[in-house]
Amino acid sequence: MAKMDETLTMLKDLTDAKGIAGNEREARAVMKKYIEPFADEVTTDNLGSLIAKKSGDANGPKIMVAGHLDEVGFMITQIDDKGFLRFQTVGGWWSQVMLAQRVTIVTRKGDITGVIGSKPPHILSPEARKKPVDIKDMFIDIGASSKEEAQEWGVRPGDMVVPYFEFTVMNNEKMLLAKAWDNRIGCAIAIDVMKYVKDKQHKNTVYGVGTVQEEVGLRGAKTSAQAIQPDIAFGVDVGIAGDTPGVSSKEAMSKMGDGPQIILYDASMVSHKGLRDFVTDVADELNIPYQFDAMAGGGTDSGAIHVTSGGVPSLSITIATRYIHSHAAMLHRDDYENAVKLIGEVILRLDQETVNKIKFD
């Protein structure tokens, strides 16, 4: 395995942490540990979003860089008499990536290993075998023999379930495989942007934010933006990589390694033109690679942030990622590092006059 440098260690800690929407405590603690050295203060809003603040100029514009802490997972809803667990998806899941996958149930008494099961194909009719299994017909098997035994082990309705997967550096050491890239990579970018601007002169107050409950409706982005009242915001998240077999460039244009994605349009937001032009001008000036993307469906935290209070010029900057919302997603380290550099350099060039110009550009 590749030698783990500081960045890889942070990425491993962030992605290995367990945290679905509404239960982000562990991921928040990891993000706090890494962002604290670069902040003047670290607070949380009342829903649990982490807000790290660093003043360059106390009277300058407030710039928010937000990644979300939650990952897609499941919640236990009931334990049947034989000890099998029924569950609710938390965030979007495609049934085809779930069966026979290992999961971790987080209980008050500690973690329990389970596997997602269904009726075996050998006893299904030929027609039924051709169809994907419905999520409602799946269950989690923890090897318990009864409801009582499962309860004895600490399992209760409401317990969170997360995919089991360990952070892995691929043979091409730029390629990183992990669960929860959606969106611990955004959290990592927020941390590293704070680090990037910490000792440099600029005229802004920078907020690195880990929002909660993005996967169920951008909820922590609403509350944290309300608390901060930013002048400019960047939602950092994963985007779609279009470089796998069978995907046409018409469906998804981006390639891993070709730079961060500048999102023009998604279902939650039309990106702010003045801010978009400012960001791409900085990228062009510094030869930082980037690619444009637009998605008819889906959205990021920017979708909630840009309609906060009187409105916030916002832009989503994303990392092309393969196999999101599954047990193992893959991204390219260069894209991550270029996203940090781009957002960091943009912040260094912002001040009140520039922000006013951007607003009405």
3-state secondary structure of 74: strand
Which pLDDT value is given to residue 71?
Answer: 98
Provide the pairing of β-strand 205-211 with 62-68: parallel
- The number of CA neighbours under 13 Å toward the Cβ of 321 is 27
Q: Retrieve residue 62's tokens.
A: 């407030």
Percent above pLDDT 90 for the chain: 94
Look up 214 and say whether it is catalytic: yes
- Is residue 3 very low, low, confident or very high in pLDDT (cuts 50, 70, 90)? confident
Q: Is 271 helix (H, G, I), strand (E, B) or coil?
A: coil
How far apart are alpha carbons 48 and 26 in whole angstroms? 11
Q: Which domains does the chain have, with CATH numbers?
A: 6-71+179-359 (3.40.630.10), 74-163 (2.40.30.40)
Question: Tens digit of pLDDT for each residue in 136-176?
Answer: 999 999 999 999 999 999 999 999 999 999 999 999 999 99
Q: What is the mean pLDDT of residues 283-296?
A: 96
Q: How far is CA 77 from CA 25, 26, 148, 157, 245, in A?
A: 20, 21, 16, 5, 37
Burial classification of residue 126, based on how many CB atoms lie within 10 Å of its CB (0-12 exposed, 13-18 middle, 19 or more buried): exposed
List the structure tokens of 295. 């998605």
> Does residue 296 carry a pLDDT above 90?
no
Sign of the alpha-carbon dihedral angle for 106, 108, 111, 113: negative
Three-state secondary-structure class, residue 173: coil
16 Rama class: left (phi>0) / alpha (psi -120 to 50) / beta: alpha
The angle formed by the CA atoms of residues 174, 18 and 298, to the nearest 5 degrees, is 70
Kindly give the residue spans of alpha helices, DSSP state H, lying in the chain: 6-16, 25-35, 126-130, 147-152, 181-197, 219-228, 273-286, 302-305, 333-348, 352-359
Residue with tokens 């912040």: 347
For residues 217-232, give the mean pLDDT.
98
Single pTM value for the model: 0.97
Distance CA(323)–CA(168), nearest Å, equals: 15
* Whether residue 1 has pLDDT greater than 60: no
- Rounded to a whole number of angstroms, the distance between the first and last alpha carbons of the chain is 48
Find the catalytic residue in 24, 71, 214, 215.
Answer: 214
Report CA-CA distances (Å) from 118 to 30, 131, 136: 35, 13, 10
Segment 104-110 mean pLDDT: 98
Question: Quick one: pLDDT band at residue 2, thresholds 50, 70, 90?
Answer: low
User: In sequence order, what are the residues at sequence separation of 6 or more whose Cβ sits closer than 8 angstroms to the Cβ of residue 124?
Assistant: none
How confident is the prediction for the chain on average, in pLDDT?
96
The pLDDT of 125-144, averaged and rounded, is 95
**Counting beta carbons within 10 angstroms of the beta carbon of residue 324, is it exposed (0 to 12), middle (13 to 18) or buried (19 or more)?**
buried
Q: Residue 37 has what pLDDT?
A: 98
